[in-house]
Amino acid sequence: MLHFNLEKPVETLWFGKFISPDKEWKHLTRVLYDYELMIITEGTLWIADEREEYEIHAGEYLVMSPTRFQHGTRECKCRFYWLHFRAETENPTLKMPAHGKYADREAISSLAEALFRGEERDRRGAFSRYVATAILLELASAKTAQEELGRNTVSDKVKNFVLWHRFSDVRVGTLAKELGYHEKYLSAAFRKEAGLPLKRYLTQERVKEAKRLLTDTDYTVTEVAYYLNFENPHNFSRFFKKECGVTPLAFRESLNAKR
């Protein structure tokens, strides 16, 4: 558990958005002299210090304390916002887990983007310091949101899990293990609440994410396949054609023809 005194805003040192160049990327090894916040938006980041190894998925964050041995532990493909900062720790006014989930994706994205806009119009950094502090407060409040989630229906829990792991090949067995249900019970409860088989829902969501990436990004079909954790582009193309009737490339070409 981390303890910060936020009576004054944190001191922002530098920040940015990172996109791993390929699936063979691994975080560099270095001495970390300050706190670093990493907010994962896509994929999974594997990173460690001299005490612990972390596996941080989309929808999660990590605040790493100063360490003599920050290093990546596995190759991975991911996207994340990062922020180096300093904060007072005496007489703390805020406590938060070093590693946790964030409930409001839109709020976090808006605040993170505000950091970049703020740097352009406030060279002295006051705006950025307050926005960075607001991000920490937003992340610290996520525990309450997660407790509220625990009172949601089975289908709500499934949909939330799939949302944050939409770049993974989520299976019924994985869901059952993560959510603490027997596979047969989970499938039956989801079908009763949502009105369609769980396996079909998982397939539909994967197709939806594939279409979004093909429509809204300039990723190649190969890159989309790897983002969605298919073993290879061929398997992705076969899956997409089976579900949509056309190949991913033909789908994208048809969109371009309409524009």
Whether 23 has a pLDDT exceeding 90, the answer reads no
Q: Cα separations (Å) of 215 from 13, 57, 205?
A: 36, 24, 15
Q: Where are the beta strands (DSSP E) in the chain?
A: 2-4, 11-19, 30-32, 35-48, 53-57, 60-64, 67-72, 78-86, 94-96, 99-101
pLDDT at 2: 93
pLDDT band at 162 (very low <50, low <70, confident <90, very high): confident
Q: How far apart are CA 203 and CA 163, in angstroms?
A: 13
pLDDT at 151: 55
Q: How far apart are CA 196 and CA 4, in angstroms?
A: 46
What is this structure's pTM? 0.58
Q: Rounded mean pLDDT of 102-122?
A: 76
Q: How far apart are CA 100 and CA 62, in angstroms?
A: 7
